[in-house]
Chain A
Amino acid sequence: MGRFALKRFLQMIPTLFFVLLVIFSLMKLIPGDPALTLLGPEASPSDVAAFREELGLNKPLPVQFLTYLRNVARGDLGRSLIYRTDVLTLIAERLPTTLVLSLCALSIAILLGVPLGIFASIHHNGFWDMLITVLALLGVSVPIFWVGMLLIVVFVLNLGLLPSVGLGSWDKGLWNVVSHFILPSCALAFQSVGTIARFTRSSMLEVLRQDYIRTAHAKGLRSRLILERHALRNALIPVVTVAGLQLGHLLAGAVLTESIFALPGLGKLMVDAIMRRDFLLVQGEVLVIALLYLLVNFLVDLLYALLNPKIRKSFGGA
């Protein structure tokens, strides 16, 4: 198991390098000059030249890239041009919001999606199965902003139950903070509920067709026991993978959700940074998001290997 983990971990390094290279090149390729954008309409050519000098924008590109890599290795992601503070600090300020939002949404998606999927598989081809399948399809195909708006109209404008903008304040109590997250998490979870439900259903159906389930039935075990003891455990292994992948998906969806509910997360920061050519901030954010994505995948693989011995074997470790 240890060797497997190490191997999977080392695989992340080239991926990260590649991500950095691509984003660095992209930021250089898109038109628009950060100096002009930042110094504003009143900047004189000499100011612009001094600014470019200061940021090392006059050096050849490979040199710029290597300097950047060296700084990243030292944990220095540079200073944001717009905010004039460390990129790392800015990201650290906003990461918790995006993470909390994504994890809340994932929990909602799992807590709703898995039982719905199981329920549908038990009533295979029956009324409930159809209904849940239709609902799941609906969930997958409805855009986030539409769901968000719908939730706002119902729970904020008509019922006046929940807040719809920004973060709460701790000095106004726990409920204030929690209530600000309810609607955005639900809106973000909406699509994933459908995905996880459908996946759970098909995975369960797959397992229920296996010989050992039939054997268990033949032995006269009660259906409920068969489901809990034998079917579920095996059926949920692929669901773990999907849930992990969903987290990446949710991180991306968080950008839209943050815009609708005015939450100060990474998404908002990213859009601002791109619009205003804050290239160090964009690079830093992409790096952090890529790292998160890779870490989630890494953990999912580990979990998968724990649940399924076949995977460990294929890596030649034990």
Chain B
Amino acid sequence: MKKRRFVFLFCLLWLGFSFAGLAAAEPSKGGEIVVGTDQNTTTMDPAMYQDAASSQTMINVYETLVIYDAEYKDIIPYLAESWSHTDDLREWTFRLRKGVRFHKTENQPGREMTAEDVKYSFERTLKISPMKRLFMLDHVEVVDPYTAKLVLNQPFAALLAVLTDVGSAVIPKEDAEKWGGDFSQHPVGTGPYRMTEWVKDSHMTFERYNDYWNREWLPHPLKVTYRYIVNKTAMTTALLSGQVHITREVLDQDVKKISDNAGHRVVKGAPCNVYAFYMNATRGPTTDPKVRELFFRAVDVSQIAKALFPNGSGEAAYGPIPPGSWGYNPDVRSFYTAYDPARAKELLAELGKKPGELKLRITTSEDERRKKAAIIAQAMLKKVGVEVEVQSLEWGSFMGVASKAEADIYAIGWTWYPDPFFYVYYMFHSEKKGSYGNGGAYNNPEVDKLIDLGASVGDQQARTGHYRKAEELIMGDRYYFPLYHMYAMNGVDNRIADFHPTPQGSVRLFGPDFSSYLNPDS
């Protein structure tokens, strides 16, 4: 009898211990993460893509020579372990990692990646990319199987930033040639995931590739699904009801709703974008410097930002380089022409115009925020006696009008890498006249020179100096009226750990130095 009781007690204790052991076990780091995205992946072919939304799904399958670290501060080695460049910044040599393998397919046995693949991938992009992403590249030389030399057609200091882009990913020739134009449907790279399902306009599923070449970098989630949800309210509902774990964007009015909810948080990333009114430099009233100064004096940008972002998902901008870029100048306001409505009225008199005689037209796309900004500016200008017509066109028409210098003033939005080059060059260099970035045909030879200088020296501090000087000239010319920077905002389920926002807002779940995971117990 006693013996029996002892056995029973022993069993009870043993059971208790095993449960205690269960409770203390490591949280499960596998599982499935569901990302809600308001923008659709249009292609899975790195060379062909033109939109940030496609890049966030591609980074699961493809890898690049270099990548930004988790905080988006430094560029760190990825497929390349080291690199060097000549003093004139025209030749860049990359040492590749050994043992990097492509996914196994019917076209190749999961073979090792070599410098030949780098050459093939980059030259393919050079040839077919509609974005001309590698416009600075002349050709690639294969020095030996693990060394590739990129020969440029101009000195180009921002090359590494371009190479972090998944558009510059390394792909296997066999698969790309086999599928041709349909490579997008059969993406093959060296990354830790493979695409297993793509239901167009609905969702995409990526499953972890367990033969991935680098065990140390293997991310936690076994499965990552991207659900495409256009309607922002539906997106917030899906997040709060647990149908998605991370959203790509948060509307300003939903910030409170999500952060007040016990199971969720809003994660903010430093903005890497700038929105502005850009005035025409070749024709119309804005060619008169007094009209441009009047605009700056009459429109209070801080009020516009307050009206658009009452919950703080954006802030007023005072220059073209955003805070998320290392080229951002904290003193940028010293170049800025401050709001002063009394001076604006004087300027109107100096122009010899009575109230109501000066007429301007602001052209925007159908983007709600930009329309709103234009309407607020319209009211402010009306107060000082300037009549403004706000014209909003759908994207196709808007692009035509904006890039051909047919608008008095157009609303431009610009999001790119953290390197300042991508803001100043595309929007202010005279080479970019006739494109959306410099649609008003702004042309200042001094600014051109500084931008070219900024791209032709390797030292970041020296580059920053050139760009700041350029920024000062640009703001002094007053063609570019900065409006706001928007924070990258993600709505995140609290069970998601180790999540890092990107400045573009697109969702990145892993890198060589981190991996997000879903912790079901927290």
Name A's B-contacting residues (CB within 8 A): 30-34, 36-43, 45, 82-85, 90, 93-94, 149, 152, 156-157, 160, 163-167, 169, 259-265, 268-269, 272, 275-277
Which of A38, A90, A165, A169 gathers most chain B CB within 10 Å? A165
Give complex CA distance A5, B393 in Å. 46
CB–CB B230/A39 < 8 A: no
**In the complex, what residues of B have CB within 8 A of residue A165's CB?**
36, 227, 229, 234, 237-238, 243-244
CB–CB A32/B394 < 8 A: yes
CB–CB A33/B400 < 8 A: yes
| Pairs across A and B, CB under 8 Å, 16 listed | A32-B394, A36-B399, A37-B396, A40-B50, A41-B403, A42-B131, A45-B434, A94-B200, A166-B203, A166-B228, A259-B234, A262-B228, A262-B234, A263-B202, A264-B200, A269-B201
CB–CB A34/B396 < 8 A: yes
**In the complex, what residues of A have CB within 8 A of residue B199's CB?**
167, 264
CB–CB B202/A39 < 8 A: no
Give complex CA distance A163, B130 in Å. 38
Closest chain-B Cβ to A301's Cβ sits at a distance in Å of 34
Name B's A-contacting residues (CB within 8 A): 36, 40, 42-43, 48, 50, 130-132, 181-182, 184, 197, 199-203, 227-231, 233-234, 237-238, 240-244, 393-400, 403, 434-437
CB–CB B394/A275 < 8 A: yes
CB–CB A164/B238 < 8 A: yes
Our pick among A40, A157, A262, A277 for the contact of B229 (Cβ within 8 Å) is A262
CB–CB A83/B435 < 8 A: no
Give complex CA distance A277, B244 in Å. 31
By secondary structure, the A interface counts as: loop
**In the complex, what residues of A have CB within 8 A of residue B394's CB?**
32, 275
Closest chain-A Cβ to B199's Cβ sits at a distance in Å of 6
Give complex CA distance A34, B243 in Å. 36
CB–CB A164/B435 < 8 A: no
Give complex CA distance A33, B396 in Å. 6
Closest chain-B Cβ to A109's Cβ sits at a distance in Å of 23
Closest chain-B Cβ to A124's Cβ sits at a distance in Å of 42
CB–CB A41/B396 < 8 A: no
CB–CB B234/A82 < 8 A: no
**In the complex, what residues of A have CB within 8 A of residue B197's CB?**
169
Give complex CA distance A45, B227 in Å. 37
Question: Which chain A residue shows the least CB distance to B197?
Answer: A169
CB–CB B233/A149 < 8 A: yes
* Known A152-B234, A164-B234: A41·B241 in contact at CB below 8 Å: no
Give complex CA distance A272, B51 in Å. 14
Give complex CA distance A30, B234 in Å. 31
CB–CB A166/B229 < 8 A: yes
Q: Which 4 interchain pairs have the tightest Cβ spacing?
A: A32-B396, A41-B436, A264-B201, A264-B202
**In the complex, what residues of A have CB within 8 A of residue B395's CB?**
32, 37, 275-276
CB–CB A262/B241 < 8 A: no
CB–CB B396/A277 < 8 A: yes
**In the complex, what residues of A have CB within 8 A of residue B50's CB?**
40
